[in-house]
């Protein structure tokens, strides 16, 4: 593969830092843009160059336009769905306006390809068919989902009118090492820390709501595949397997070999009851392996949290 100059926004975060590691391992030059609001310097590979700052910052954008860039992998985002509901204008300022500005800056610097971190569950809304394929109706029920869908639409416009190559990766519920239970919060990271501290797990609602848990290693494979010039369009990155929250609790009991207390809290308003993505299209196109089973991924992830908190 040709050696590329790649910008990874959000590259000090949970998902972004794993992608940075993979791109560097392939011999690419990687520049990270991150304001470190939820990411960490500890996640950064020593060979990655860092521009610390917000994707909306004029100084950051000016720095980008002065560089030679082949690809921008855009993972920086306002990632809290609840905050998007509380302040849709702020969410749009970061996730739509900020995204467009940083992509424009990269294009001015010569970038011909954009890899965009989208969201399967957020843009599809409540499923009509299971698992959801890429042609499922897109009816987002949060401003966060609206922003992700809007950016996919902008990328389609940029492809048609300006010839900009793009890949939108619609992630399921990503989990794995480096996930921050307070920043890029996910139930696996939250539960892992609580189990290791001997705290009660809080399950909202009945616990029968389902999610599609995809290990970060499979997300990295998708992002490596997205560098290929023959890969374009929007693709799900999911396992096609539904896992109920109560099953997640049972899996933690098995992997931790501990007694785990559970309390049920009121269900969150507007929370999806089911979410599961069919990721077969990208796996077939890029000849990717079947995704890691949740039991195996949880074992690996829990051991990482165990070592970190010991």
Decide: 33 and 7 in contact? Cβ < 8 Å.
yes
Strand 165-171 and strand 233-237: the pairing is parallel
Decide: 196 and 260 in contact? Cβ < 8 Å.
no
DSSP 42: G
Considering 23, 144, 171, 175, which one is annotated as catalytic?
A: 144
CA distance 207 to 117: 28
**Which residues lie below 8 Å from residue 82, measured CB to CB, with a gap of 6+?**
none
DSSP H helices, 94-186, are 99-108, 120-124, 143-162
Q: What is the H or E stretch that residue 166 is in? A: strand 165-171
Query: Is 144 among the residues known to form the active site?
Result: yes
Closest CA to 267 of 206, 208, 190, 200: 206
Closest CA to 245 of 285, 223, 275: 275
**Which residues lie below 8 Å from residue 119, measured CB to CB, with a gap of 6+?**
144, 145, 148, 170, 171
- 3-class SS at 39? coil
Angle in degrees, 0-180, between the axes of helices 143-162 and 99-108, rounded to the nearest 10: 30
Tell which phi-psi region holds residue 193, choosing left (phi > 0), alpha (psi between -120 and 50) or beta.
alpha
CA distance 224 to 234: 15
The Cα-based distances of 148 to 47, 72, 225 in angstroms read 30, 16, 21
Catalytic residues: 144
């Amino acid at each position: 593969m040709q050696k590329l100059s790649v910008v990874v926004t959000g590259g000090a975060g949970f998902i972004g830092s794993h992608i940075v590691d993979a791109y560097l391992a392939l011999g690419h030059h990687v520049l990270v843009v991150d304001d470190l609001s939820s990411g960490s310097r500890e996640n950064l590979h020593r060979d990655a160059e860092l521009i610390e700052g917000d994707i909306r910052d004029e100084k950051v954008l000016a720095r980008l336009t002065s560089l030679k860039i082949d690809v921008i992998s855009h993972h920086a985002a306002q990632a809290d769905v609840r905050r998007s509901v509380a302040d849709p204008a702020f969410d749009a300022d970061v996730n739509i306006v900020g995204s467009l500005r940083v992509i424009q800056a990269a294009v001015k610097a010569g970038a011909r390809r954009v890899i965009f971190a989208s969201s399967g569950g957020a843009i599809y809304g409540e499923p009509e068919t299971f698992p959801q394929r890429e042609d499922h109706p897109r009816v987002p029920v949060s401003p966060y989902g609206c922003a992700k869908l809007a950016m996919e639409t902008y990328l389609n416009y940029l492809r048609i009118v300006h010839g900009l190559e793009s890949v939108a990766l619609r992630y399921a519920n990503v989990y794995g090492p480096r996930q921050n239970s307070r920043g890029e919060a996910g139930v696996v990271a939250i539960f892992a820390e609580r189990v290791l501290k001997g705290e009660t797990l809080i399950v909202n609602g009945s616990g029968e709501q389902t999610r599609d848990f995809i290990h970060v290693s499979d997300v990295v494979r998708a992002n490596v595949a997205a560098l290929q010039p023959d890969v374009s369009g929007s693709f799900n990155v999911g396992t096609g397997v539904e896992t109920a929250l109560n099953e997640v609790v049972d899996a933690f009991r098995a992997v931790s070999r501990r007694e785990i207390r559970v309390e049920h809290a009121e269900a969150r308003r507007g929370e999806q009851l089911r979410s599961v993505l069919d990721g077969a299209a990208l796996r077939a196109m890029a000849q990717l392996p079947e995704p890691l089973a949740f039991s195996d991924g949880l074992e690996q992830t829990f051991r990482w949290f165990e070592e970190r908190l010991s």
